[in-house]
Structures are given as C-alpha cells and as structure tokens.
Amino acid sequence: MTRESWQTRIGFILAAVGSAVGLGNLWRFPWMTSENGGAAFLLVYLGIVLAVGVPGLLAEFVIGRRSRRNPVGALSDLSDSKGWTAFGHVFVVTAVVLLSFYSVVGGWILRYVAASATGAYFADPGAYFAGIDYGIEAVAFHLAFLGATAAIVLRGVRRGIESATKLMMPAILVLLVGLAAWGLSLDGAGAGVDFFLTPDFGYLRANFLDILPAAAGQALFTLSLGAGTMVTYASYLGEDRSLVADGTAIATLNTVVGVLAGVVVFPILFALGAGAGAGGPGALFVSLAGAFAALPYGQVVGVAFFGVVALAALSSSISMLEIPVSFLVDEYGVSRPTATASFVGVFAVTGSVCALYPNVFSFVAGTLVDLLLTGGLVGFLLFAGWVMGRGALDEYRRGAGGLARSLATPWLYAVGVVIPVFLVFTFVSGVAA
C-alpha cells in the first residue's frame, strides 16, 4: 500500500496552520498575555517565535520529510538506534496527554456555541461555568468533541484533514476579522488595544526572567512544536518544495491569527471594565462570555466567537490524533479506521479523567504539557543537529533558494546547540521561579 500524501502545497500549509492556530491562540495566549504584562509579553513572545519557533519548525519538517514516517518510525529509521527508537515513543504519550485535556476544553467550547445561542450563561456567567466545567456533562461534551475529531481523521490525510482544514481556515480568518471590527467599535476598546500593543519597557526589564519561560512555553504550544505533529504532517509531503518558505508562511499566519485574537479579546474585556485582571484559564468562559451577555448583539457575537474557537480547536485536535494513528499505520500496518478507533478508545478514558478531576486537568494542561513539549522539541533539535547532520542540511536545502539556502549552516548550529541550551535554561529557570 502506498503511503498517504497531501494533494497540494497549499493543502499542507493550511493543515499545518490549522494545527498551529487553536486554543493556544484564542484561549491560552490572551490568558498568558494578561498575566505577564500585556504588550511586554507579546514582544518577548514574538522574538521567541522568530528565533526558536521557525528554526524548530524546520527541524521537525526536515525529520518528517526525510523519513516519510511518523515520529517513532522517523527517529528509528534515520538513526538505527534503539535509544532514539525508545525516545520516539514519548511522542505517542505526548499526543495522549495533549488531546486528553484539549478535548475537554473543546467540549466546553461546543457547549458554549449552543449556550450563546440560547443565552444560557447570560444571567450569571461565573456561576454557569462553575456548574459545567467538570463532571459528567463535561465528559459527554468531551466525547462529542472527540467524536468530531475522529470523524475527520478517519477519512485520511487528503479526504479528511486536508479537505477539512481547507474549509476551516478561511472561515476562521473571516470571522476573526469581523469580530475584531466589532470589538474595536466598542466604547473603551482603546485601553484594551493599548494594553495589548503598547509595551511597558519598565515592566519588561523588571520581569524579564518571569516572562521568558511563559513566552517560550507559549511559542512551542502555539506552533505545535515538540509533539511530533509537524514531523507527521511533513512526512506526507511529496515533492521538493522549500521547507523554509512553507515554515515561514506557517509561523507568520499563526502569529497574525494570535495577534488578531488579542485584538478581539482585549478590547472586549476592557470595554466591559473587566480589564486585564480578568485573565486566567476561565477568561474566555467567564469574562468574555460575560461581555457577550452585556453588549449589543451578544448572542450573535457569542455564537460567532465560540464557533471560531470550535473550528480552531478541531483543526488542532485532528493533528494530535494523527500522531498515534500514523504510528500504528506505519509501524504495525494497522488500517486507518482500526488505528483511529483504538486511540479514540484510549482518549475516551484519559479525557474523561481530565473532565472529572480538576486537579488532574490543571496538572496535565500546565506542567506536564510544558515538560513534554520542551523535552520533545529538544530531542528533535539534537536529533537534526547531531544524528542527521549532513542529511538535515541536504533536506533543508532541497527546494530552498537564495537567503534561505545560505542560512542552512547557521540553522544547523542553532538547532544543534544554541536553541537546546536556551530551551533547557529557560525551562529550568521557569520551574525554579
């Protein structure tokens, strides 16, 4: 059986952007920004996306396209080493951890699309969210979200992932632009824009070492780095196109959506007088939902907003499920439907645990994800830099021209040495803080 592949270049780019753009941009980013000084955080985050995110994305692409395998098979085939093969299995665990909590949040989002239409939370958003966040209903909505994810992955790379993301991404962009226009038109929106876009350099200097780990964690999460998603997606690339060009386009589009999301969220929070203090993981479901309840056209805007978030979450969750599915298909010759069904069984259980126990949820969504993504990316970087070496350079150069080409060697030093050192240092300093 021939291995699956993307139909078009734009299909690959949109699928990768679909993976990147998700709850990371719309839920985690406003929350992180509000807790870390607004524009000061944005600035550090943008620097890390450029200096760490893009080279890291390229490392995953190089590994994926070179091997044409899932992360486990890739590390195994390209190294012929038992140690790297064993390490590769970490990515199956990472996928399980990621989708377990992500699917719970996805379930909340689905519920809020409906609840916005009926106005169910309008009377008391805080109490409403506290009543539904964990428990048996959260399990039910998590299962619904998981089912939607599986329905797409089941149909395969082209007919499932590629055709779904090709529809979803433009819809997300159009709706976000509309929402931003609405948010900016509100009285008091200016203070929100200011908080988000005008950096306070005094705050930045005073808190740089706290901002750094938060910004690094956010950059990895939002670009889907360190999980093996980008290895997997690049493994379905057929021709010799420029990974550098594609990677840059993907990181840029993801950043545009992240900034757009901030321009939607902060003016709304400030217009309502909630201010930045209303951040936190519940920001979307309490502060922002509260704003919809209080502002003109709240029901329509609420459905549009949570609809965007649902699409963004779904185009990311499929990229999480695709990691273990490709692993079973490649390594064990299992059919796609059987592989999908097996892991849906796993996620049904692990996600339900997150939906029932808030402590498990917080640990999984916070510390554990940060640790796995950082460790995973450091592994990929060292692998590209030290195990692949020349092979990584060849793969990087294939299809690349001009400036991108001349950056190949500096890139290899960056991924082999500088970035891993930076990531480990930042992570440790974040844990120690």
Q: C-beta of 191: minimal distance to ligand PHE in Å?
A: 27
Binding mask 222-261 toward ligand PHE (x if CB under 6 A, else -) reads x-x--x-x--------------------------------
- Binding range to ligand PHE, per CB under 6 A, among 54-62, 124-132, 221-229, 297-305: 221-229
Check residue 25 for interaction with ligand PHE (CB under 6 A). Answer: yes
Using CB under 5 A, pick the residue from 18, 107, 262, 351 that binds Na ion.
18
CA dist., res. 14 & res. 165, Å (int): 6
Check residue 218 for interaction with ligand PHE (CB under 6 A). Answer: no
Those residues whose C-beta lies under 8 Å from the C-beta of residue 192, and which sit 6 or more positions away, are 183, 265, 266, 267, 268, 269, 270, 271
- Number of residues located near ligand PHE, criterion CB under 6 A: 15
For residues 242 and 315, which CB has a smaller minimum distance to Na ion in the complex?
Answer: 315
Using CB under 6 A, pick the residue from 14, 23, 152, 329 that binds ligand PHE.
23
Check residue 24 for interaction with ligand PHE (CB under 6 A). Answer: yes
For residues 88 and 290, which CB has a smaller minimum distance to ligand PHE in the complex?
Answer: 88
Q: C-beta of 236: minimal distance to ligand PHE in Å?
A: 15
What residue type is 189 in one-letter code? A
Interaction partner, residue 315 (ligand PHE, Na ion, none; CB < 5-8 Å by kind): Na ion
For residues 219 and 392, which CB has a smaller minimum distance to ligand PHE in the complex?
Answer: 219
Q: Where are the alpha helices (DSSP H) in 119-157?
A: 125-132, 136-154
CA dist., res. 91 & res. 211, Å (int): 27
- Binding range to ligand PHE, per CB under 6 A, among 220-228, 332-340, 343-351, 395-403: 220-228
Check residue 23 for interaction with Na ion (CB under 5 A). Answer: no
Interaction partner, residue 13 (ligand PHE, Na ion, none; CB < 5-8 Å by kind): none
- Write out the DSSP string of 80-118: --HHHHHHHTHHHHHHHHHHHHHHHHHHHHHHHHHHHHH
Q: C-beta of 29: minimal distance to Na ion in Å?
A: 13
Q: Where in 296-325 is the site for Na ion (CB under 5 A)?
A: 312, 315-316
CB-neighbour burial class of residue 2 (10 A; exposed 0-12, middle 13-18, buried 19+) = exposed
Q: Which long-range contacts (CB under 8 A, 24 or more apart) does 118-121 make?
A: 119/293, 119/298, 119/299, 121/289, 121/293
CA dist., res. 207 & res. 36, Å (int): 8
Closest CA to 316 of 117, 41, 6, 26: 26
Check residue 150 for interaction with ligand PHE (CB under 6 A). Answer: no
Using CB under 6 A, pick the residue from 45, 221, 285, 306 that binds ligand PHE.
221
Q: C-beta of 228: minimal distance to ligand PHE in Å?
A: 8
Check residue 107 for interaction with ligand PHE (CB under 6 A). Answer: no
Interaction partner, residue 25 (ligand PHE, Na ion, none; CB < 5-8 Å by kind): ligand PHE
DSSP at 226: S
- Binding range to ligand PHE, per CB under 6 A, among 115-123, 195-203, 219-227, 394-402: 219-227
Place of tokens 């990974």: 243
Q: Where in 316-335 is the site for ligand PHE (CB under 6 A)?
A: 316, 319-320
Q: How far apart are the first and last CA of the chain?
A: 51
Q: Which residue lies nearest ligand PHE, judged by its C-beta?
A: 24
Q: Where in 81-100 is the site for ligand PHE (CB under 6 A)?
A: 98
CB-neighbour burial class of residue 359 (10 A; exposed 0-12, middle 13-18, buried 19+) = exposed
Length, in residues, of the chain:
433
Closest CA to 314 of 4, 97, 15, 9: 15
Using CB under 6 A, pick the residue from 11, 19, 64, 264 that binds ligand PHE.
19
For residues 150 and 412, which CB has a smaller minimum distance to ligand PHE in the complex?
Answer: 150
Check residue 22 for interaction with ligand PHE (CB under 6 A). Answer: yes
The torsion region of residue 389 among left (phi > 0), alpha (psi -120 to 50) and beta comes to left
For residues 101 and 122, which CB has a smaller minimum distance to ligand PHE in the complex?
Answer: 101
Handedness of CA 395, 401, 404, 410 (dihedral sign): positive
CB-neighbour burial class of residue 333 (10 A; exposed 0-12, middle 13-18, buried 19+) = exposed
Contacts with Na ion by CB under 5 A lie at 18, 21-22, 312, 315-316
Interface residues with ligand PHE (CB under 6 A)?
A: 19-20, 22-25, 98, 221-222, 224, 227, 229, 316, 319-320
